[in-house]
Amino acid sequence: MQIIDIHNHFFPHSWPDLAQRFGTPNWPWIKHTEAGKAEIMVGDRFFRHIYSACWDPEVRLQEMDRDGIDLQIISATPVLFAYERPPEHALGCAQLFNDAALELCSRGKGRLRSLCQVPLQDIDAACNELSRCMRAGHLGVQIGNHVGEKNLDDPGIVTFLHHCADEGAAVLVHPWDMMSRERMPNYMMPWTVGMPAETQMSVVALILSGAFDRLPAALRICFAHGGGSFAFLLGRLENAWHHHPVARGSCEFPPSHYLNRFYVDSAVFEERTLRFLVQTMGTDRVLLGSDYPFPLGEERIGSLIRGSSLAQQVKTALLGGNANRFLGLTSEPHNDLNIPASVAAKANSAAVAEPEQLTYSSYLKVPELLELQHPQSSPPHHDELLFIIVHQTYELWFKELLHDLDAVVANLRAASANPESRDGVYEAARLLRRCTEITRVLVEQFTILETMLPTHFLAFRDKLEPASGFQSEQFRELEFLCGLKDEKMLRYHRPTPEAHALLLHRLEEPSLHDVFFAALKAIGKLPATASTNDREQFEARARAILSLYKDEHHFRDWIDVCERLTEFDELVVSWRLRHIQLVERIIGIRMGTGGSTGASYLKLTLDKKFFPELWEARTLLTG
């Protein structure tokens, strides 16, 4: 896998005097101060110190080797955009630097590629220059995040983005010409405050205007500097979208729906922020971008990602895999020869990729999955990973159980609605068989955790408090769904209002137990009784079961459902028992982190049954 840096800049060693060429003042020019060093001037104003990596491919390649970078996608610097100037001047400037970029790439031994720039104040001219550049070998375009008062949702700019998608051009959005400069005269605030806000504004404009609804999914667009403040403030945006009609704009879906429509680069300079960005945007949406070789760029390109504790697969995606997709590259040819621009152009266009393909990893979200284990112990205790993974696998199986048991409920409802048809009954029995097999695995799985010594668990146990199995929302959901409803257990979910609301819903809706006996009523096996006496009702239900077993010839399918439910009940008790044995083996009779008396409390749950009538019926049976 190639390591690709998609955000870095160049300046040619020299270029014609633009003020003279266009007859207007204050164009950028380069002042060489000493060997390998220069200043960028705008008119007679100092703009930035730069060094030879900007124009000398040898220096650049050496530093890429030093940092383990295979490929850099160079782009000019926003100070050259010239969006505020007459379009023909901006076009002339763009052409000059676009050709200079290709010339630099042609001396880059196949390890440099480029993004062009366009006169975005004139959409036709911008589209034409983009097409010319794509034919000449650029991989896409770098655009400023606004053109004067126009944000990226401007209809003309959206048309241009459409054209980029048609041309297969990758688009890098770079903040520039920062807002409110008069209020940010000091401390480089235009860079540290203005740029992130500018970028956020661009993303928000594209989302809320509905532009992403209209633009083709083939558009590959990336926002520099981690997307500015967008990810951090997504919650605020989402909240406004849901609660204030005026904040909704014209997009069809809430803002978070559009996260898979764009990329952001990794230029955030801090691991916590990088992790947050990856969590928010997804592991497939963040690309290595360094802002090299400018003073605020990453000093050792890629060191933030490489040195982070992200999973290796995630690092691989961020360092190159995602960039391959963003740039539309297939496997990159590595050319050690000096190649002329025209040949480089051909090589570039040959590398334009087929559409994105589903892979094992992208389908199963393997990188995301492997990113979800975060030990609390520091340094991480060896066994904490096992502890986390075992719990996570339980939760995944709980999810599947809920999925299947909900389907069992739906099938039993169908059986009630149409007592003549046996389809629902067969299907319910089939799915229940799956549930029992899963639960069998869940009982077995405790043995893996028992390979952990009690001393090893105690070494990190205090880091887990006050987290406790009591807070397993899905376990409680399973109990409520099957019919064991204990409202008191809701208190453990107060800190998580969504879980609390879901459990409340489960508490109120008819359970599997209710639906099963309603079905027996529907097929005439359980007479509607006027009795309000719980015991009498219970006995009536047990007798209904009994009557099924006594008429095996006619009710084989229903008996199958009863047997599966009994087995499920039995296996859940086995799960409770094995859990208690594990608890005793690991922490003896210590209290639980959830505040219970531990094993002695858990033993009280052993008598719990989902379908006690199925067991009672056994007592009532006679030979």
Judged by the rule CB under 6 A, the positions of this chain that interact with ligand HEM are: 390-391, 394, 449, 457, 468-470, 472, 475, 579, 582-583, 586-587, 592-596, 598, 601-602, 605
Residue 355: DSSP 8-state: P
Question: For residue 457, what are the CA distances in angstroms to 377, 591, 598?
Answer: 11, 14, 15
| Least gap, CB of 456 to ligand HEM (angstroms) | 10
User: Among residues 110 and 592, whose Cβ is nearest to ligand HEM?
Assistant: 592
The residues facing 45 across adjacent strands are 42
Question: Is 183 buried (19+), middle (13-18) or exposed (0-12) by CB count in 10 A?
Answer: exposed
| Least gap, CB of 293 to ligand HEM (angstroms) | 51
Contacts 24+ apart (CB under 8 A), 382-388: 382/456, 383/452, 383/453, 383/456, 383/457, 383/459, 383/460, 384/460, 386/448, 386/449, 386/451, 386/452, 387/449, 387/452, 387/457, 387/460
| Least gap, CB of 431 to ligand HEM (angstroms) | 22
CB 227 within 8 A of CB 264: yes
User: Among residues 43 and 595, whose Cβ is nearest to ligand HEM?
Assistant: 595
User: Among residues 33 and 447, whose Cβ is nearest to ligand HEM?
Assistant: 447
The residues facing 170 across adjacent strands are 140
The residues facing 5 across adjacent strands are 72
Q: What is the 3-state secondary structure (H, E, C) of 454-491?
A: HHHHHHHHCCCCCCCHHHCHHHHHHHHHHCCCCHHHHH
Structure tokens belonging to residue 517: 């006996």
| Least gap, CB of 600 to ligand HEM (angstroms) | 10
The residues facing 141 across adjacent strands are 116, 171
The residue type of 323 is A
State the number of CA atoms in the 13 A half-sphere of 621 facing the CB: 14
Residues 55, 61, 63: CA angle, nearest 5 degrees = 95
| Least gap, CB of 175 to ligand HEM (angstroms) | 46
User: Among residues 140 and 598, whose Cβ is nearest to ligand HEM?
Assistant: 598
Residue 549: DSSP 8-state: H
User: Among residues 168 and 592, whose Cβ is nearest to ligand HEM?
Assistant: 592
| Least gap, CB of 395 to ligand HEM (angstroms) | 7
Helix residue ranges, H only, 122-268: 123-136, 155-167, 189, 195-208, 211-214, 234-243
User: Among residues 89 and 513, whose Cβ is nearest to ligand HEM?
Assistant: 513
User: Among residues 364 and 396, whose Cβ is nearest to ligand HEM?
Assistant: 396
User: Among residues 334 and 491, whose Cβ is nearest to ligand HEM?
Assistant: 491
Closest CA to 117 of 154, 160, 152: 160
Beta carbons within 8 Å of 4's beta carbon, 6+ residues apart: 69, 70, 71, 72, 73, 287, 288, 319, 320, 323, 324, 327
User: Among residues 53 and 449, whose Cβ is nearest to ligand HEM?
Assistant: 449
CB 169 within 8 A of CB 130: yes
| Least gap, CB of 300 to ligand HEM (angstroms) | 41
The per-residue DSSP string of 423-459 comes to: HHHHHHHHHHHHHHHHHHHHHHTHHHHTTS-HHHHHH
| Least gap, CB of 467 to ligand HEM (angstroms) | 9
| Least gap, CB of 481 to ligand HEM (angstroms) | 14
| Least gap, CB of 617 to ligand HEM (angstroms) | 26
The per-residue DSSP string of 4-46 comes to: EEEEEE---S----HHHHHT-S--EEEEEEETTEEEEEETTEE
User: Among residues 335 and 471, whose Cβ is nearest to ligand HEM?
Assistant: 471
| Least gap, CB of 485 to ligand HEM (angstroms) | 13
| Least gap, CB of 501 to ligand HEM (angstroms) | 20
For the chain, the C-alpha Rg in angstroms (whole number) is 32
Structure tokens belonging to residue 239: 């909240």
| Least gap, CB of 610 to ligand HEM (angstroms) | 13
Beta carbons within 8 Å of 49's beta carbon, 6+ residues apart: 37, 38, 39, 295
Helix (H) or strand (E) run with residue 280 in it: helix 271-281
User: Among residues 370 and 582, whose Cβ is nearest to ligand HEM?
Assistant: 582
User: Among residues 218 and 604, whose Cβ is nearest to ligand HEM?
Assistant: 604
Structure tokens belonging to residue 595: 């505040």
| Least gap, CB of 462 to ligand HEM (angstroms) | 13
User: Among residues 459 and 540, whose Cβ is nearest to ligand HEM?
Assistant: 459
Helix axes 552-587, 512-522, angle to 10 degrees: 170
User: Among residues 315 and 493, whose Cβ is nearest to ligand HEM?
Assistant: 493
